[in-house]
Structure 1
Amino acid sequence: MTTRAAIEAVWRLESARIIAALVRIVRDVGLAEDVAQDAVIAALSQWPASGIPDNPGAWLMTTAKRRAVDAFRRRARNDETAAALARELEQTIDDDPAAGIDHVEDDVLRLMFICCHPSLTQEAQTTLTLKLVAGLTTREIARAFLTTESTIAQRVSRAKRTLADTGAAIEEPSGDERAARLETVLRVVYLLFNEGYSATEGDDWVRPALCDESVRLGRILTAIVPEDPEVHGLSALMELQSSRLAARTGTDGEPVLLDVQDRRRWDTSRIRRGIEALARAESLAVAGEGPGQYALQAEIAAEHARAASVADTDWARIADLYEQLGRRTGSPVAELNRAVALARAHGPAAGLALLDQLAELQALRGYHLVPSVRGDLLEQQGRGAEAAAEFDRAAAMTANERERRLLLHRAEAARRPPSDR
């Protein structure tokens, strides 16, 4: 491994802890990221000659602290507060580099809360979480959002400026605010995972890197908020869903649907971790309240993981779980998924009956999976021409090129006589 590759690997592993600790110390998100990046630049300059230190993360932290002291000293001429911070910070720089990072769990959680501050838009919350907590580069985030690096850079700058302008508290929130902010953190990680699992736009059906980052964030959250059932529920969901990633695409990246996936390619270690996290979520659930939305989705994923095949899957239980999810969240998408499960359990007519009830919902208009599901159920009934029309309609509504081609292929197949399929 080259020195540069080693630095990049260290940064991916350590960046969240380093920036999170620096935010606590310097009380400024922008400055924390700047001095952390300065430390990386210093490593690129020094490590090729001096070698990689025994504790590279602590080396970066100590170097970043020194850069922060320099920054405060430059401000100190006109700012007594900066002068005091410089003196205070200088005293924390220890000759022992292993002392460079402390309070790791509290710091990372605090950073997550800051990234999901209510003064930021949902888009900004997700971007800042990817940048500061997941440690993704501007280029990687731009690729994930299918936009330019300059757009992402501006979004990050605006977010940091908003935090500064609103005087966003660096301390971890407490009470009701903490609960609300944690809910936002979970939602951001969940949305990030969903985008990786089923990309909304572009040429890729899945984006495994986004899923992996989401799973990693989920594992961090279970370590630092160990008593929250929905934290474990979300981690369980992502572990179980991501276990199928390798089987969801073919050799050329084309989508492979559940019915024909090679389950031998499912990741058994992630399934095991998911089942364990789900059991933890269930043990922590508040009596009388039942499982939360993430735990319910994890239970659905666990039913798939336990089944040897589509035919062996307990679709009736999955339909029941989707009904519970719909009641808890009010999500029409949960009802759409229940229609699929009902069709599997009781035949396509049962699924179509529920679809007819959902047809007029405003929230589902323009959602391409509605005609896609309808096309699938009509095809099961032998109504090929009607199914083809629904697949064509779904293809026109999706922005994902892989999915569009799959739907058009299904439309073409549905038009052929059954004997030719």
Structure 2
Amino acid sequence: MLCFKLLNSQSSYKAFKESIQDSVKKETFVKHLGNGYLPSKYFNFDLRYLIKFNQYEGIRTGIGGTTNENFSKNFKINGYSVYGFRDDEFKFSIGGAIRLAPKTNTWLSLSYTDDLQETGSTKFLTDGRFFQFFEPRLLNIDLFHSHITKSIGIEHLLFDKLSTKTEFSISSINPTYQYSFNTNGMLLNNFRLSVAKIAFQWNPFSDFNQTENGLKETKQGYPKFTLQYSKSFKNVFKSDFNFSKIDFRTIHKIIIDKDNYSELTLVSGLANGDTPITHMYHAYPNNITKETVMQRFSVAGLNSFETMYFNEFFSDKFTTIQAKHFFKPFKISERLNPQLVLISRFAIGNMEFPEKHENISFKTLEKGYTESGFEINKLLFGFGLSFTYRYGGYHLPEFTDNLALKFTFNVTL
């Protein structure tokens, strides 16, 4: 009897242990999926490259990914290859990184990329990986420049709450649209850039724990601050321009409870010197140029100006402020819990020498741009509705031209 009980106890413990392991595996799988990866033993497939759509490439599809910790904890290889059906072009990237110091999460990385980038967009080096199952703003972008970029970078944790990344890159840039930059009477249609960047990410109110894989953020605290400096060197590796850029962002949350909070985001940038339109600022527009409200009906972005038309404004100095308040979801039924979000956005900017940019027309933001509205999210299968109205310095004569009515899409794993 004692032997039977012992065997039964061992069997129950084994079943319990297997159940725990299965649960951990499922949780890890869902976490990878939420970050945009489909994991395998040594390689994680990147879901960002499976299929997308934009106005220049049409359908863009391909495959990509990165080696995981089972392959190596101190070395990784990543890359992707995609094809655009409308422009009939392949794009690709290949890169690798080696960990120099686990405690300070220090990585040395190299990459070679031949792809497109949205003109006027700015990326912070220290930004973590961002993944959406559906990227609504991407659908309507039509202003891209192609680039072949070779880069080397170092990522390093200076202190527990301050991380940094430094990069030096050499790029050959060719706008896919009619454009010339007039510098001292010489017109440049395509150009080369040699750019050094350094970025800092400071999260003074977050909590971190040291793990075998480096320092991990265990509790997000606010505000968070990001600062980046870029410098282009003329005549270094045949670079055509000499300019500098300073970019700053702060994100703050005022939390009442888990589902009832306010979010404030300030982004500012300044470009100084001969800067081509590719590296100016566009203030993140998300409205297509069509005649009626319903023809402009699309999907709202997360932090974009929904009433600002694509390619309407460019600046060499700008500031945007976005304020959102998320109300606690309304519990209409077990499956229907829509959430009301109030939104207000403001942008101001200017450009010192707009006449240097030829064959492209745009306005600047010196009057100040304002829009406000609301979203009702998660009405059905993650979809909701967004309503935004444009007013202030750039209010348009036709009432309907100031309106933006769109879907929203929010899914959380």
TM-score, normalising length: structure 2: 0.27
TM-score, normalising length: structure 1: 0.27
Which structure shows the higher helix fraction? 1
